[in-house]
């Protein structure tokens, strides 16, 4: 069926089997292979994209259900030579090894920082209603939907903390 | 030209005299921007004209014969192009470094999960649905799925050692432990699904795959298909994690190649996550009996380490569980041995640090127990048992700073064991030694100095997250006096000189040495052109100086390229000295008094592994290894059904890799060391050292916190719960 | 995934109409698509309800809260009123799944999620829930995550939700609309069925009946808490969880709403446990008695035997915490 998808600000008219997931539409039909398939069942986070600014698992979404949404993938955040501050921080802090979960980590971090700006609490927040202090344990809990088998978590969290502090300083 | 070298004698550390100053520095990975922006392309991301999709189908019995399947019905489904079930299909992947086909065939079923067919269709959706509707029929046979009760058990001679009289040592010991530890089946679970895109041009096959050791994979693929090796090209420029699971050619590659040949179209086969759990190799469970006998001062008089592991019939690999027990500690009376149960379960093979990853969990737990019996600090106990010479082979050790690692690690960590309470939590500390044998392997590379003063490094070596792109560029940059930005590194293509591949932590030393050797050849040529002795040549920032001469590199090249191949081979030093990386792990844990849940609060590792080529990527390797230790200690266990032997928790929701919240910031320190016996760049393996013993530090800390000794890894809450007071 | 007709509904009427004759509603899809890929679920028709106007959280006339069925888990957890008045609900939601999944999963869908039993997920295995009459492979299999209460010889699967456990402790009601346009309210406690001899029938909802909202009564008095014991620090299903709303007044327990997850085929709440506690002076002995009542029919299946002592410990810890008592050393 005919599906219009808006990805990284560009509208694409696609003819898709209704069974095609958002992830497979991105990877197979649009050639945007930055979003990765690590489990295809919402259990690893490698496919994380932003839909209307919120992070979701693209593998557990039907493409046809996302007509009219603003979809942002890792390719839309930055590119070599013009990296997003989070992407640059991941390089500096070695927040990856094999790189396969990395796009999902970066996009998830981007969505997560938006949630923090909105004051959302997490499982480890002592006070549900207080301001969010982006401590190590807060970052860890909020990023736990993104598995990294190389286990670059120390670098990932350092990168997120640095990028977050820089963007706060800039505001 | 070719510079060849065999490691028969220690080498002077040339890299300590070069002046570019890029070796050891914590430089960013050059491929980093591609990876963080989603522009690094992995195997499944090749999209060739006319490409179609294949989905594998697995056997659903443990043992028997494939009688038939409804292939005709499935061929008639929408989009389906073919149903392939071929005797050339692989029963299981090749073991690391095999260089030949593993057991093949689909008619005889050896385990639940064995690949038996490939369904190919125009789209993934069509292929997946059709594959789900392929219904094989079987003639079932009796299976053995439990390693504890299997009737077919091998006792490999190569794993057996009987030295002195261990029974007597135990009987006469002033202090002893005789304990049995178990570790569960364990899966690499690399984040990238195993995938291959196969395409043919006439007789020539090109495979975009996700593999660790390309020269072997090329040979294995050719042998599996019955075609000449020179007709096969394998490409793996980026590999989304391997950890042993991508050492040998695996079923999706052969199936994709067979289907692509038949259909005359490129075929992509990506395993599902569930298929990965059964179709690629995993680590066996182990049952390990450890006996330690000591005198009143804690000096070991005997060590026993006997284990039972499992594998499929006809697989030569067995987990070398006792590998580090051979050389780590003193003790005149020694008994080591292994039983390999033959079972109808998915194939076992190398997973990160085969041997030490599990052997050290038991040995270092038992050492902690002995220290408790002796009322000794566990560091003191270990220090007293560091032998002067290899206790079995009577050869010296190469660089070995185990005691320094323990001492410096203890200081950096603030080592102060003793349980304390914090609300609902009991907090304690534990430590363990790290040890992992060091290996090198033949490896070749080509380095080209280009007329414009930049360099190109080429080899079929892989970077599976280990930092190969970074370190090979650093070695070439250091040797040729170039900033790393002026060095390009091309990897992962069997058309390039064949490397050792990524496995056994030998990649950096072996491939690095080949690049070093090629650069040595280039330096000799440059010295000649400059008019000085190679010994006197200094290369820095594109300028060559030596004797009384000085010239820009570009001028010495006078517009032309200069190319050199480096060939490295292991030699006599491998037998002349016992070589290993060493270290020490420290962990502080909190155990919940209500639920028995354990959280690691802090973890630190101090390592001595020869020269560290890139302090940033090496640190990441060790941090990753230590988190693998947390997984082994607390969360990871692949369960097999007791009736049909299928992998039960075969997804990432129920096979529990540690998540971010399971891991505190991991602190890593490296001691300055050169191992001149290892290779001409004085490095040793790093990638596996960080896991080898790490989990034991966590369980030792649980004991410190609670007095509960868990000997059955992982220490999930149920095992701790039983020992907690009401 | 089997081919299906995709229908995008514009309002509840057209949704329930489109669902007549065995269609499946899809909203977040986080569990449904997971299962459809494995062909554990294979609907012929999917009715996309995400465009329906069911995304609001509103105060009710009696001071409670009406939560639209399409409110995401993330929005519900972060909602000011929920955080302030129903913290156990926020806590339960935040203890579940991942940030990504909570952004997609909805309130209605969460209630209807299927079990995580390995044998249900694996079509090569027998499962009475997936294929009635085929048997239960979890009995005699790997059953560490399985039920100790409310199970039957036909099925020992657990309900995996965290959110539903908190809603149950909060006396939530479920609002539905049927294909003929009728609205219904049911206590959440009555939504899920026990497996008995028909584990494939998990709820009392009729064909095409759509959950439109969950309604909470006004904020309860007492201490609210959610405890969850699991195999990882995050992103893991509960082995045992407990949502508690406990009030101690004048030295006696005045309210003890205790709902458990991970124990049973449905979120589990036992009125006899609460009757044991209410009106009594908190004590270790009393808490033990309550645990005895809760676990009077508990049955382990081997690997999950530990859930029995674990549940006792979690219950007692929650009661101690609510009563301001310390765990004895």
Q: How far apart are CA C214 and CA C89, in angstroms?
A: 12
Looking from the CA of C130 toward its CB, the CA atoms found within 13 Å total 26
- Residues of B whose CB is below 8 A from A46: 191
Active site residues of B: 688
pLDDT band for position C180 (cuts 50, 70, 90): confident
**What is the pLDDT, as a whole number, of residue C141?**
98
Q: What does the DSSP assignment read for C259-303?
A: EEESSSSS-EE-HHHHHHHTTSPP-HHHHHHHHHHHTTT----ST
- In chain A, the N- to C-terminal Cα span, in Å, equals 44
Q: pLDDT digits over B79-109, tens only? A: 999 999 999 999 999 999 999 999 999 999 9
| Nearest CB to A108; choose among C4, C97, C100 | C100
The residue to which tokens 């039993």 are assigned: C117
Contacts of residue B711, defined as CB under 8 A and 6 or more positions apart, other chains included, come to B179, B180, B181, B182, B365
**What is the pLDDT, as a whole number, of residue C329?**
64
Min CA distance, A171 vs chain B (Å)? 24
User: B659–A155: do the CB atoms touch at under 8 Å?
Assistant: no
Residues of chain B short of pLDDT 50, as ranges, are: none
Architecture of domain A85-170: Orthogonal Bundle (1.10)
| Nearest CB to B663; choose among A83, A100, A153 | A153
| Nearest CB to C99; choose among A19, A55, A61 | A55
Contact B428, B588 (CB under 8 A): yes
Contact C77, C50 (CB under 8 A): no
Cα B130–chain centre separation: 36
Please tell me the total number of residues recorded for chain B in this structure.
726
Min CA distance, B557 vs chain A (Å)? 30
**What is the pLDDT, as a whole number, of residue B726?**
82
User: B656–C232: do the CB atoms touch at under 8 Å?
Assistant: yes
Contacts of residue A167, defined as CB under 8 A and 6 or more positions apart, other chains included, come to A85, A113
Contact B688, B310 (CB under 8 A): no
Buried b (16+ CB within 10 A) or exposed e, C196-234: eeebeebbebeebbbbbbbbbeebbebbbbbbbbbbbbb
**Domains of chain B, start order:** 2-40+440-574 (3.30.365.10), 397-438+579-721 (3.30.365.10)
Contact B382, B717 (CB under 8 A): no
Q: In Å, what is the CA distance from B296 to each residue of B374, B384, B401, B433? A: 8, 12, 26, 22
pLDDT for residue C65 is more than 90: yes
pLDDT for residue C20 is more than 90: no
Over chain C, what is the mean pLDDT? 97
Which of C44, C96, C232, C288 should be substituted to probe chain B, the one whose Cβ sees the most B Cβ atoms within 10 Å? C232
Contacts of residue A165, defined as CB under 8 A and 6 or more positions apart, other chains included, come to none
**What is the pLDDT, as a whole number, of residue A168?**
82
Residues C58-74: what's their mean pLDDT? Answer: 98
User: A40–C103: do the CB atoms touch at under 8 Å?
Assistant: no
Q: How far apart are CA C98 and CA A123, in angstroms?
A: 10
User: C306–B721: do the CB atoms touch at under 8 Å?
Assistant: yes
Enumerate neighbours of A (3 or more CB pairs within 8 A): B, C
Min CA distance, C109 vs chain A (Å)? 14
| Nearest CB to A60; choose among C29, C50, C84 | C29
Min CA distance, B427 vs chain C (Å)? 15
User: B635–C231: do the CB atoms touch at under 8 Å?
Assistant: yes
Residues A81-93: what's their mean pLDDT? Answer: 98
Q: In Å, what is the CA distance from B286 to each residue of B243, B319, C240? A: 19, 9, 29
Please tell me the total number of residues recorded for chain C in this structure.
329
Single out the residue of A55, B137, B39 nearest to residue C99, CA to CA.
Answer: A55
B77 dihedral zone (left: phi>0; alpha: psi -120 to 50; beta): beta
Closest residue of chain C to A57, computed from CA coordinates: C100
Single out the residue of B374, B317, B386 nearest to residue B103, CA to CA.
Answer: B317
Q: Where are the beta strands (DSSP E) in B125-214?
A: 136-140, 153-154, 161-163, 175-183, 195-201, 204-209
Which H or E run contains B341?
strand B333-342
Q: Are domains A2-76 and A85-170 of this chain identical in fold?
A: no
User: A44–B652: do the CB atoms touch at under 8 Å?
Assistant: yes
User: B617–A155: do the CB atoms touch at under 8 Å?
Assistant: no
pLDDT band for position A171 (cuts 50, 70, 90): low
- Residues of C whose CB is below 8 A from B112: 124
User: C103–A54: do the CB atoms touch at under 8 Å?
Assistant: yes
Task: Kindly state whether B49 is in contact with chain A, defined as any CB-CB distance less than 8 angstroms.
Answer: no
For chain A, the domains span: 2-76, 85-170
**What is the pLDDT, as a whole number, of residue B185?**
98
Min CA distance, C1 vs chain B (Å)? 5
Q: What six digits make up the tokens of C209?
A: 């009946």
Which of A16, A79, A88, A99 should be substituted to probe chain B, the one whose Cβ sees the most B Cβ atoms within 10 Å? A99
**Per-state percent for chain A, helix, strand, coil, to nearest 5:** 40, 15, 45
pLDDT for residue C18 is more than 80: yes
- Residues of C whose CB is below 8 A from B639: 142, 144
Task: Kindly state whether A126 is in contact with chain B, defined as any CB-CB distance less than 8 angstroms.
Answer: no
**What is the pLDDT, as a whole number, of residue C326?**
83
- Residues of A whose CB is below 8 A from B626: 151
Helices (H), A118-152: 136-142
Q: How far apart are CA B300 and CA B331, in angstroms?
A: 5
Contacts of residue A130, defined as CB under 8 A and 6 or more positions apart, other chains included, come to none
Buried b (16+ CB within 10 A) or exposed e, B98-120: bbebbebbbeebbbbbbbbbbbb
Q: pLDDT digits over A28-39, tens only? A: 999 999 999 999
Q: How far apart are CA B574 and CA A7, in angstroms?
A: 55
Q: Determine the CATH number of domain A2-76.
A: 3.10.20.30
User: B467–A75: do the CB atoms touch at under 8 Å?
Assistant: no
CA angle B405, B411, B413 (to 5 degrees): 95
């Amino acid at each position: 069926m005919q599906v219009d998808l808006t990805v990284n600000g560009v509208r694409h008219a696609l003819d898709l089997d209704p069974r095609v997931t958002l992830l497979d539409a991105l990877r197979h039909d649009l050639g945007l292979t930055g979003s990765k398939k690590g489990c295809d069942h919402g259990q690893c986070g490698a496919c994380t994209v932003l839909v209307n600014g919120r992070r979701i698992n693209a593998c557990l979404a039907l493409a046809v259900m996302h007509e009219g949404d603003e979809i942002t993938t890792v390719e839309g955040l930055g590119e070599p030579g013009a990296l997003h501050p989070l992407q640059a921080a991941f390089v500096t802090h070695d927040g990856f090894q094999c790189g396969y979960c990395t796009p999902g980590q970066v996009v998830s971090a981007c969505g997560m920082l938006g949630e923090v700006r909105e004051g959302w609490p997490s499982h480890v927040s002592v006070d549900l209603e207080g301001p969010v202090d982006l401590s190590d344990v807060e970052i860890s809990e909020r990023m736990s939907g993104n598995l990294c088998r190389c286990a670059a978590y120390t670098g990932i969290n350092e990168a997120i903390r640095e990028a977050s502090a820089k963007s706060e300083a800039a505001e | 030209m070719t510079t060849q070298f065999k490691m028969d004698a220690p080498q002077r550390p040339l890299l300590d005299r070069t002046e570019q100053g890029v070796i050891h520095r914590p430089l960013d990975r050059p491929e980093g921007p591609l990876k963080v922006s989603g522009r690094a392309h992995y195997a499944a991301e090749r999209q060739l004209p006319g490409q179609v999709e294949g989905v594998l189908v697995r056997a659903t019995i443990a043992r028997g014969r494939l009688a038939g399947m409804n292939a005709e019905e499935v061929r008639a489904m929408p989009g389906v192009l073919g149903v392939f079930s071929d005797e050339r299909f692989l029963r299981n992947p090749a073991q690391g470094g095999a260089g030949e086909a593993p057991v093949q065939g689909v008619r005889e079923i050896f385990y639940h999960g064995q690949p038996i067919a490939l369904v190919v269709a125009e789209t993934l959706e069509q292929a997946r649905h059709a594959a789900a509707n392929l219904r094989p029929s079987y003639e079932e046979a009796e299976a053995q799925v439990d390693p504890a009760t299997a009737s077919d058990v091998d006792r490999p001679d190569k794993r057996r050692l009987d030295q002195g009289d261990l029974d007597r040592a135990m009987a006469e010991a002033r202090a002893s432990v005789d304990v049995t530890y178990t570790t569960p089946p364990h899966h690499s679970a690399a984040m990238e699904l195993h995938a291959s895109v196969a395409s043919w041009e006439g007789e020539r096959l090109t495979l975009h795959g996700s593999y660790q050791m390309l020269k072997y994979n090329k040979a294995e693929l050719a042998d599996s298909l019955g075609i000449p090796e020179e007709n096969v090209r394998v490409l793996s420029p980026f590999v989304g994690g391997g950890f042993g699971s991508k050492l040998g050619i695996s079923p999706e590659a052969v199936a994709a190649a067979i289907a692509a040949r038949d259909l005359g179209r490129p075929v992509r086969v990506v395993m599902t996550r569930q298929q990965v759990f059964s179709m690629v190799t995993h680590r066996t469970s182990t049952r390990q009996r450890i006996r330690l006998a000591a005198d009143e001062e804690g000096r070991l008089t005997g060590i026993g380490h006997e284990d039972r592991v499992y594998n499929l019939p006809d697989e030569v690999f067995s987990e070398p569980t006792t590998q580090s027990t051979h050389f780590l500690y003193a003790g005149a009376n020694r008994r080591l041995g292994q039983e390999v149960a033959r079972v109808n379960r998915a194939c076992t093979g190398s997973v990160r640090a085969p041997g030490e990853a599990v052997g050290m969990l038991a040995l270092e737990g038992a050492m902690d127990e002995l220290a408790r019996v002796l009322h000794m600090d566990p560091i003191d106990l270990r220090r007293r048992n560091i032998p002067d010479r290899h206790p079995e082979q009577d050869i010296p050790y190469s660089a070995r700073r185990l005691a320094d690692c323990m001492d410096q690690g203890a200081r950096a960590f603030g080592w102060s064991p003793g349980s304390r309470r914090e609300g609902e939590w009991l907090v304690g500390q534990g430590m363990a030694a790290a040890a992992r044998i060091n290996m090198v392997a033949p490896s070749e590379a080509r380095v080209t100095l280009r007329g414009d003063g930049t360099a190109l490094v080429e080899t079929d070596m892989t970077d599976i997250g280990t930092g190969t792109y970074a370190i090979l560029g650093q070695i070439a940059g250091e040797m040729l006096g170039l900033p790393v930005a002026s060095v390009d590194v091309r990897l992962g293509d069997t058309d390039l000189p064949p490397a050792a591949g990524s496995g056994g932590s030998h990649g950096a030393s072996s491939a690095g040495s080949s690049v070093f050797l090629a650069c040595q050849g280039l330096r000799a040529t440059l010295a000649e052109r400059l008019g000085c002795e190679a010994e006197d040549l200094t290369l820095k920032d594109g300028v060559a100086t030596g004797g009384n001469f000085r010239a820009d590199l570009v001028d010495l090249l006078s517009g032309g390229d200069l190319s050199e191949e480096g060939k490295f081979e292991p030699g006599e030093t491998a037998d002349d000295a016992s070589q290993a990386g060493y270290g020490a792990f420290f962990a502080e844990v909190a155990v919940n008094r209500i639920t028995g849940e354990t959280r690691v609060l802090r973890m630190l590792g101090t390592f001595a592994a020869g020269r560290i080529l890139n302090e940033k990527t090496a640190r990441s390797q060790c941090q990753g290894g230590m988190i693998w230790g947390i997984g082994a200690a607390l969360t990871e266990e692949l369960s097999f059904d007791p009736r049909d032997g299928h992998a039960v928790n075969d997804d990432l929701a129920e096979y529990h890799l540690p998540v971010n919240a399971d891991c505190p910031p991991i602190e890593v320190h490296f001691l300055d060391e050169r191992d001149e016996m290892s290779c001409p760049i004085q490095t040793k393996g790093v990638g596996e050292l960080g896991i080898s013993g790490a989990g034991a530090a966590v369980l030792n800390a649980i004991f410190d916190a609670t007095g509960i000794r868990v000997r059955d890894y992982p220490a999930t809450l149920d095992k701790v719960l039983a020992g907690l007071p009401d | 995934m089997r081919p299906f007709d995709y229908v995008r509904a514009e309002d509840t009427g057209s949704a329930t109409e489109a669902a007549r004759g065995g269609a499946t509603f899809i909203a977040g899809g986080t569990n449904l698509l997971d299962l459809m890929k494995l062909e554990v679920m294979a609907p012929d028709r999917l009715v996309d309800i995400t465009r329906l106007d069911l995304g609001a959280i509103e105060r009710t006339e009696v001071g409670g809260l009406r939560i639209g069925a399409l409110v995401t888990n993330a929005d519900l957890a972060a909602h000011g009123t929920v955080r302030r008045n129903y913290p156990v609900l926020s806590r339960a939601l935040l203890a579940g799944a991942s940030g990504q999944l909570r952004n997609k999963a909805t309130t209605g869908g969460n209630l209807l999620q299927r079990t995580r039993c390995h044998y249900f997920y694996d079509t090569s295995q027998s499962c009475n829930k997936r294929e009635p009459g085929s048997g239960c492979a979890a009995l005699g299999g790997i059953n560490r995550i399985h039920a100790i209460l409310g199970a039957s010889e036909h099925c020992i699967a657990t309900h995996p939700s965290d959110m539903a456990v908190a809603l149950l402790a909060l006396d939530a009601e479920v609002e539905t609309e049927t294909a003929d346009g009728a609205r219904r309210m049911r206590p959440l406690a009555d939504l899920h069925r026990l497996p008995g001899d028909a584990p494939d029938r998990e709820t009392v909802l009729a064909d095409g009946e759509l959950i439109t909202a969950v309604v909470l009564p006004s904020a309860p008095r007492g201490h609210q808490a959610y405890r969850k014991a699991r195999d990882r620090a995050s992103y893991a299903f509960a082995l045992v969880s407990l949502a508690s709303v406990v009030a101690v007044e004048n030295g006696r327990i005045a309210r003890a709403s205790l709902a458990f997850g991970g124990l049973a085929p449905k979120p589990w709440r036992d009125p006899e446990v609460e009757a044991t506690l209410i009106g009594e002076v908190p004590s270790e002995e009393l808490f033990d008695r309550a645990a005895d009542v809760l676990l009077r029919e508990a049955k382990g299946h081997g690997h999950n035997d530990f859930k029995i002592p674990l549940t006792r410990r979690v219950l007692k810890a929650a009661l101690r915490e609510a009563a301001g008592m310390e765990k004895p050393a």
